[in-house]
Amino acid sequence: MLRAEKGNSRRIFRTCQPCADLYQKIRGGGKVEGLIIRELLEQDLPDVVGIENISFTTPWSEILFFNEIYKQRSIAKVAIMEEAGSAQRVVGYICADYVADEGHILNLAVHPDFRKKGIAKILVKNVLEDLEKTDCRFLYLEVRASNVAAKKLYEGFGFVIVGTRKKYYNKPEEDAVIMRLAFRPRAAG
């Protein structure tokens, strides 16, 4: 289990050039008292689906999240908030996958009660750290064109807009902005 506030966040900054450039800027952030980042488990699915349903107009089904748990080359994480006593609550999640030298952030959400606390940033940083261990050179994602907060989050990690997908989303119909992060090549040896 990785505690986000005590994780080895510096490691990612050695290979991800945009992240290395931003290290000083975000180094002080990324700490949320009582937050734990760990792998998504089957027992988390009801909470994850609940967050999904209140976050998106066309939510993923439970089976899609279930598949992410067992899919090869998948990264599926949850943010768990430790509450009074030993109670724990799922407050966010991220799903990504990778094949060859490309990764893709598929889904990311934080419960409305826990937004604007840096949890999404911690989840993205955790995925970047995991992808550092692969041969991934590029990481892609789609985001609603109107989702200014999400675009700002990703731009803070060095993602850039590389295109659009017309009418990608529905309810309401909207274009997706395609964003990409280029990783620095890994050092040989």
Domain count along the chain: 1
Domain-embedded: residue 189: no
Give which of 68, 72, 71 is closest to 93, Cα–Cα: 68
3-class SS of residue 149: helix
pLDDT tens by residue, 118-133: 999 999 999 999 998 8
Q: Where are the alpha helices (DSSP H) in 37-144?
A: 45-55, 62-70, 119-132
pLDDT tens by residue, 128-181: 999 988 989 999 999 999 999 999 999 999 999 999 999 999 999 999 999 999
pLDDT tens by residue, 3-57: 333 333 333 333 444 444 333 333 334 578 889 999 999 999 999 999 999 999 9
Find the helix or strand (DSSP H, E) in which 82 lies: strand 74-82
* Annotated catalytic residue, options 33, 142, 155, 173: 142
Instruction: Name beta bridge partners: 38.
Output: 78
pLDDT tens by residue, 57-85: 999 999 999 999 999 999 999 999 987 77
What are 54's two structure tokens?
């209140």
3-class SS of residue 172: coil
Domain-embedded: residue 188: no
Is 142 one of the catalytic residues? yes
* Annotated catalytic residue, options 93, 98, 154, 169: 154
pLDDT given for residue 184 in this prediction = 77
Domain CATH for 102:
3.40.630.30
Is 98 one of the catalytic residues? no
Name the residue range of residue 171's domain.
4-182
Residue 99 has φ and ψ, to the nearest 5°, of -150, 135
pTM equals: 0.82
